[in-house]
């Protein structure tokens, strides 16, 4: 029988450190050509869309897909996990929380390999559900003295700073503007749904590492052309997917100001085929598109823990 896991059960089982390690291992498999992954496919309907993405992680006997709908102003996420050797359906999971954690974990892996060691300030632009896991992820791989945050909504910003401070155990302080965050951060998180750049790339200090994850559609552009062109190293989780929908990179490339040859995959960095950073003065950029391999990797980990701890409930299969 397959196991059904709710959002609450997934959230209780999956920790950020475990998710980071699961993704690190998955990207190693991808870098060795042992983890096939397909880009996201979207089916549009009036008022929304169905989104489907799939991948395999044979090292964990895992094969699966995530599907989600964005209709009527809300998003509903599910992961189907299969045994890659028998084809058996192992689990159906509600996956909003899973997706939040795995997206943060991808930035955690990128930060581990691309950020300077001597960081002190993390910056975050955005105060939504994704910003919370992003801060937790970078704090899991680097030791910061404080976090500087900005959001256009003062009430949300205040609540975010209070919650994040308690979660990561260091001060999370409000900033007056996105530019103020960009100027002071050693690691900068950009987690918005903005259609236009949210800070001035000319203000970025040398040596900064940027994690940008809000631009997974051509209608969205969180960072400006200056930021892209100043970055000496640009990495994404799946180049094939970035070439379809990365709103931060595609306009710059279409304008002839850079080529896709400058964009590497995170798996190449994790396996040492490419250097994530060669100098403390380099500006590095991780463009997180969110790929199915990340979902399958953490889903396999959650499934194993659920079986060990008796979580979830069995679904009869006909």
55 phi/psi in degrees, rounded to 5: -165, 165
Burial (CB count within 10 angstroms: exposed 0-12, middle 13-18, buried 19+), residue 6? middle
- Measured CA distances, 150 to 50, 53, 123, 137, 189 (Å): 32, 32, 8, 18, 11
Residues 6+ apart with CB under 8 A from 230: 201, 204, 283
Tell me which residue of 65, 77, 75 sits closest to 6, measured CA to CA.
Answer: 77
Q: What is the 3-state secondary structure (H, E, C) of 239-281?
A: HHHHHHHCCCCHHHHHCCCCCHHHEEEHHHHHCCCCCCCCCCC
In the residue annotation, 156 being an active-site residue is answered as no
- Measured CA distances, 145 to 17, 176, 205 (Å): 19, 19, 18
Tell me which residue of 303, 308, 300 sits closest to 58, measured CA to CA.
Answer: 300
281: number of Cβ within 10 Å: 12
Q: How far is the C-alpha of 277 from the C-alpha of 114, rounded, in Å?
A: 5
* Catalytic residue, candidates 66, 156, 183, 257: 66
DSSP 69: E
Q: Which residues are catalytically annotated?
A: 66
């Amino acid at each position: 029988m397959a196991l059904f896991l709710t959002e609450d059960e997934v959230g209780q089982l999956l920790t950020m450190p475990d998710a980071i390690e699961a993704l690190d291992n998955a990207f190693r498999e991808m870098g060795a050509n042992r983890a096939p992954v397909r880009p996201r496919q979207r089916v549009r309907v009036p008022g929304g869309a169905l989104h489907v993405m799939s991948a395999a992680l044979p090292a964990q006997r895992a094969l699966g897909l995530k599907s989600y709908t964005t209709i009527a102003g809300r998003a509903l996420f599910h992961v189907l996990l299969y045994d890659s050797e028998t084809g058996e359906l192992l689990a159906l999971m509600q996956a909003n929380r899973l997706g939040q954690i795995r997206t943060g974990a991808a930035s955690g892996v990128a930060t581990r390999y691309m950020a300077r060691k001597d960081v002190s300030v993390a910056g975050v632009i955005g105060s939504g559900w994704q910003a919370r896991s992003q801060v937790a992820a970078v704090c899991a791989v680097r030791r910061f003295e404080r976090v500087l945050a900005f959001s256009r909504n003062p009430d949300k910003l205040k609540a975010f700073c209070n919650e994040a401070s308690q979660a990561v155990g260091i001060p999370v302080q409000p900033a007056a503007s996105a530019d103020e965050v960009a100027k002071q951060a050693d690691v900068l998180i950009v987690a918005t749904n903005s259609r236009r750049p949210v800070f001035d790339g000319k203000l970025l200090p040398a040596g900064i590492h940027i994690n940008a994850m809000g631009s997974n559609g051509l209608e969205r552009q969180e960072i400006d052309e200056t930021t892209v062109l100043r970055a000496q190293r640009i990495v994404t989780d799946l180049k094939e997917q970035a070439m379809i929908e990365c709103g931060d990179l595609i306009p710059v490339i279409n304008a002839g100001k850079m080529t896709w040859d400058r964009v590497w995959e995170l798996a190449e960095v994790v396996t040492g085929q490419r250097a994530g950073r060669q100098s403390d003065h380099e500006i590095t950029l991780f463009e997180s598109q969110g790929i199915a391999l990340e979902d399958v990797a953490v889903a396999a980990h959650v499934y194993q823990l659920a079986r060990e701890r008796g979580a979830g409930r069995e679904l009869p299969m006909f």
